[in-house]
């Protein structure tokens, strides 16, 4: 073949596509892979500059090109992860918060702590005993020497204050 090799190869591939596909499918054992590889071969043939290479057998040349492309496709696919593998990896992902979330959370905790510090003394004690020490309200009432109703009232007022500050 002369300088017009890409045009001759392209023409040959178009005219003999079905037979090339059948031969490639037999060689590769996969009709879809043969079809994909032939498509890529057509693209390569049409994207090349004219070539001085002598090609004695367009069929053999195109078939060899198609098989090489198919092998490249299989190599790429073997390096890719399957959907099951990707799913498994996402399940293994670290659930720990990222740096941005850590900064945001620390800022929120700092703000909450400042608001708790601004509560009246008994309300602050009630909130800390109930939420930080996980004591029941009855136990808090005994510790502080006040009625259960007072603990409930102080806790409600403290919650209302903290929610208002959070929403502000």
Domains and CATH numbers, the chain: 5-82 (1.10.1740), 99-167 (1.10.10.10)
Q: Which two tokens stand for residue 1?
A: 């073949």
User: Token digits for 32?
Assistant: 């879809």
Closest-CA residue to 50 (of 10, 2, 15): 2
pLDDT of residue 1: 45
Residue 139 belongs to what H/E stretch?
helix 137-144
Per-residue pLDDT, 50 = 54
Q: Are 82 and 45 in contact (CB under 8 A)?
A: no
Q: Tell me the backbone φ, ψ of residue 64, rounded to 5 degrees.
A: -65, -45
SS3 content of the chain, % helix, strand, coil (to 5): 80, 0, 20
**Number of helices and strands in the chain (H, E):** 9, 0
What is the Cβ-side half-sphere exposure of residue 147, based on CA atoms within 13 angstroms? 3
Residue 50's Cβ-count burial label (10 Å; 0-12, 13-18, 19+) is exposed
Q: Which residues in the chain show pLDDT less than 50?
A: 1-2
Tell me what pLDDT residue 137 has. 94
């Amino acid at each position: 073949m002369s300088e017009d090799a890409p045009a001759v190869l392209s023409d040959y591939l178009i005219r003999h596509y079905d037979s090339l596909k059948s031969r490639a499918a037999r060689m590769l054992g996969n009709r879809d892979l043969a079809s994909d590889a032939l498509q890529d071969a057509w693209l390569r043939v049409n994207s090349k500059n004219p070539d001085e290479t002598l090609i004695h057998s367009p069929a053999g040349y195109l078939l060899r090109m198609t098989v090489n492309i198919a092998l490249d496709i299989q190599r790429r696919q073997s390096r890719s992860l399957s959907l099951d593998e990707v799913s498994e990896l996402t399940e293994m992902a670290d659930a720990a918060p990222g740096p941005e979330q850590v900064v945001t959370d620390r800022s929120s905790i700092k703000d909450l702590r400042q608001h708790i510090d601004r509560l009246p003394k008994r309300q602050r004690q009630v909130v800390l005993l109930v939420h930080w020490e996980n004591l029941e309200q009855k136990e808090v009432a005994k510790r502080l020497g006040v009625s259960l109703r007072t603990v409930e009232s102080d806790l409600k007022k403290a919650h209302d204050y903290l929610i208002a500050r959070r929403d502000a």
